[in-house]
Amino acid sequence: MTFANEQLRYEGKDPFGAALAAGFTRLRPVVMTALAMILGMLPMSLGLGDGGEQNAPLGRAVIGGLLVATFFTLFFVPVVYKLLKRNFKPRELHPRLRLPSDENHVEASPHPGG
């Protein structure tokens, strides 16, 4: 959600646009990681090999947990972010936190009092 907060503050996007941009940015890495783990757990969940039936429930539980966690990461978290930030009004940033391209950027005088 750091990416969404940066979009909200520095690029002036609304909360929905910021959550959407963050979701699209994180979609590929999240899906690739979850898919790799699910495919890796598939043989265990099928109970293949000698004694495989003992580990099958563990494999199924891990796959189910990954599916639920991936769903929450991609859908639930952005929706909650949007709900929490729906009344967001950007505040004036401290001069040290402003980007040089800001229109409101005030040049600091190199000499005190000058």
pLDDT tens, residue by residue, 8-48: 666 667 777 777 777 788 889 999 999 999 999 999 999 88
* Helix or strand run (H / E) with residue 99: none
18-27, 47-56, 71-80, 104-113: range with lowest mean pLDDT: 104-113
Angle, helices 15-46/2-10, rounded to nearest 10 degrees: 170
Residue 104 clears pLDDT 60, i.e. is over it: no
Residue 83 clears pLDDT 90, i.e. is over it: no
| Position 2, amino acid | T
How big is the chain by its Cα radius of gyration, in Å? 23
How far apart, in Å, do the first and last CA atoms of the chain sit?
42
Mean pLDDT of 83-105: 66
Domains annotated for the chain, with CATH where assigned, are 2-89 (1.20.1640.10)
Instruction: Return the exposure string of 52-81: e unless at least 16 CB atoms fall within 10 Å of the residue's CB, then b.
Output: eeebeeebeebbeebeeebeebeeebbeeb
Alpha-carbon torsion (58, 63, 65, 66), positive or negative: positive
C-alpha count within 13 angstroms, C-beta hemisphere, residue 85: 20
**Which residues in 1-114 belong to E strands, given as ranges?**
none
